Copies of this chain bind each other. A is one copy, B any other.
Amino acid sequence: MDDVAAVAGVSRGTVSRALRGGDKVSAAAMRAIHAAIKQTGYVVNRHARSLASRRSETVALVLCAPPARLGEDPSFNILLFGCVQALSEHGITASLSVVSGDAEFTKIREQLAGAHVDGALVIAAHPIASLAEELAAGGIPTVACGSVPCRSHRRPDPQQSLSLVSTDDQEGARSLVRYLRGSGRRTIATIAGPASTACGAARLAGWQDEVGADASPHLVATGDYTRASGHAAMVELLQRAPDLDAVFVASDLMAAGALAALHAAGRRVPDDVAVGGFEDSAVAITVQPTLTTVRRPLARISTEMVRLLLGQIDGDPPAEVVFPTDLVLRESA
């Protein structure tokens, strides 16, 4: 940097100012400096800059999920890459951590403490979301998405720098069930996700809202978001409620399993039984028949997370934003 200053015939301070937006730098100096940079092939040292400015232009990207879902669940990846993309557009680097077990949990906690990142983005599938709250409590701007447990009706705590981005899964579920009913279905069962996950609970609640008085427990089977569990749940439902003519499934993957079970049982979809999924993941169009499902605006979620984080880093208060879902009509219902 001294070289650049020398070549441009200015002081190091001016070069520094020129690099950071060029405020209070004359146009002539600006030109000379840029020329000098080109000539010398200069490139800033991020570590030195971070040390001096106390800003690292880096945010931690923390994925909380069991290893199995990491490789399998595409929505996870869309979120991940969406965040990386959005950050990159702001010239910010993402440092990636994965925490599936408690061991990594404490490890990450320590790592982040010393990492001096500007903020953290937490993408949580299973609720180690306490990580997010911990980070926020530790004073680092944090934005989480996914199933943050039981905060649904709490107002964001302005004391804590934790923002939340989620989708209105309950309303999404309602819209699908409403559609099923509207197209003449009478007995609408559901395959729910684990009650321990916020999204599992929300989607089940949406089904209940719409089905109302008909929401008897024998129309509910629970899976764990895997294809196999969806299959098993469908078999169970078919046995408990042979007269069902529709089923709302809390995830596309489980819906794929349900479809297979229905096929095996000789029920035609959608003629005999309508099937609705949730997520609009890749399987939704891979499956036969293609799946009517509820789409979550994954791309918007990731860009919104980044937007909120950047805002928080600049001092904005934390926020809680909820996106609506879209009903995607295909062949299965």
Contact = CB atoms under 8 A, between A and B. Distances in A.
**Secondary structure of the A contact surface, majority rule:** helix
B98 A84 contact: yes
A261 interface: no
Given A47-B56, A48-B51, A104-B88, A98 B81 contact: yes
A130 interface: no
A110 B67 contact: no
Interface in A306-329: none
Contacts of A74: 71-72
A93 interface: yes
A45 interface: yes
A280 to B, nearest CB: 12
A107 B113 CA distance: 29
A106 interface: no
Interface in A199-235: 227
B71 A282 contact: yes
A198 interface: no
Interface string A260-286: 000000000000000000000010001
Given A45-B116, A51-B48, A72-B74, A84 B97 contact: yes
Contacts of A107: 88
Given A47-B116, A116-B45, A94 B93 contact: no
A93 B62 CA distance: 12
Contacts of A51: 45, 47-48, 51
Chain copies in complex: 2
Contacts of A97: 84, 88, 93
A43 interface: yes
A56 B95 CA distance: 13
A50 interface: yes
B114 A45 contact: yes
A175 interface: no
Contacts of A98: 81, 84-85, 88
A202 to B, nearest CB: 24
A6 interface: no
Interface string A97-116: 11000001001001101111
Nearest to A287: B286
B88 A43 contact: no
A62 to B, nearest CB: 11
A78 B58 CA distance: 24
Contacts of A227: 286
A71 B104 CA distance: 24
Interface in A131-178: none
A270 to B, nearest CB: 20
Interface in A36-59: 43-48, 50-51, 56, 58
Contacts of A244: none
Interface of A: 43-48, 50-51, 56, 58, 61, 67, 70-72, 74, 77-78, 81, 84-85, 88, 91, 93-98, 104, 107, 110-111, 113-116, 227, 256, 282, 286
7 closest A-B pairs (Cβ-Cβ)? A47-B50, A43-B114, A47-B51, A96-B96, A71-B77, A71-B78, A95-B95
